[in-house]
Chain A
Amino acid sequence: MSIINYASREIQFKIVYYGPALCGKTTNLDYIHKRINPENRGDLVSLATAADRTLFFDFLPLNAVVIKGFVTKFQLYTVPGQVIYNATRQLVLRSVDGIVFVADSQWEKMEENVESFKNLEDNLAKQNISIDEIPYVIQYNKRDLESIAPVNYLEYVLNNRKRRVQSFEVISSTGQNVFASLNAVSQILLHKFSKQSDVPKTAPRPVAIPVEPPAMARKENAAV
């Protein structure tokens, strides 16, 4: 959590996109960067290898609503998904305020999804943060591919905790539900700091929000 500076009248929040390798975290940020009004965003910074795999993190600063005269600034980060980069993931998670967990819907990636979620819990615990306390949403990405698990199965595997969170069926390469999931986590985050309630006005939906019509959804293949 950052410190508010009354002189600059800004509030900063850090949102981290977390998930297994090649699940579409960078594609999420890429889409947001392309589609959001340039006046409300900074540059997308990617620290990647020559093969476009995230080495350290991607970073995208966004300006959002004004609350009580303060501009809210959301800083979006991704982590490197590859197992060997756990130390880097721990660094990026430092001072995190909200999380978008990006799961790969393909059957063959299910074990990696579960491992990555467990890794997220472990890394948060090292900062004395419980996954049950931090605002987060889940994306079921790559819903346009053939060999994907049904949503109820993904819910059972990844969203079966005491506190079930909002989840979204996403195709990050076409942008389906990319903004919906960002908006959801941002709303939960802002309400966390409101005086009256920790619960957003829009009630959390335990079941994934479906993608748009299939014709659009099946146009291109996997997000990277």
Chain B
Amino acid sequence: MNAIPCLTIEDVANLDGVLGDFLQKAEAELTVVIDRGGNVISQFGDMTVMDVTIIAALAAGSFAATKELARRIGEVEFNALYHQGNGNHIFMNSVDDDTIMITVFGKRTTVGLVRFYSASTAQSVAALLKALSNTGHGFSFDASDITSTPIFAGQ
């Protein structure tokens, strides 16, 4: 049996506290913590801004794609990436070897403010996730929970 690592209600509350505090200080719209495979770990803020699942997949790809560019100038990877739009922008920064934090913000704030607060937030998130991996919470199903009927059906 393989268990899926999970965030308990308490873990989520702690993480939400850190992310909520960051959004308030940085005056950003939304922040999403993802793994480098593109899976969403946690999110906080205005979820109506976008489809978070797709943003996570694309952001993970974008972050990974620049790794080779970083190597060419003697870096292991870029710690942060900034995509500037006309009204909305995305800032991404590395949390740890497996995790990235994405922040979406608009005209209410500046990239400098987001960058400044995201550094300490990333450290807090990394500490929370590290503590999670040490506690060893896991989730798994009973075989009886899974039916043999097709999971997906076409129309």
Contact = CB atoms under 8 A, between A and B. Distances in A.
Interface of A: 1-8, 10-12, 14, 31-32, 35-37, 40, 42-43, 45, 47, 56-57, 59, 61-62, 64-65, 67-68, 70, 72-75, 77, 87-88, 91-92, 94-96, 175, 178-179, 182-183, 186-187, 190-198, 200-202
A11 B54 CA distance: 16
A35 B150 CA distance: 15
B29 to A, nearest CB: 18
Instruction: Tell me the dominant secondary structure on chain A's binding face.
Output: mixed
Interface residues of B, number: 48
Contacts of A5: 6-7, 12, 40-42
B134 interface: no
B49 interface: no
Interface of B: 1-9, 11-12, 16, 35-43, 51, 53-54, 57-58, 60-61, 64-65, 68, 132, 139-148, 150-155
Please give me the 9 A-B residue pairs with the lowest Cβ-Cβ distance, nearest first.
A95-B37, A35-B154, A2-B39, A4-B6, A196-B143, A7-B12, A194-B143, A91-B64, A94-B37
Nearest to A87: B68
B152 to A, nearest CB: 6
Given A7-B9, A75-B53, A95 B155 contact: no
A75 B57 contact: yes
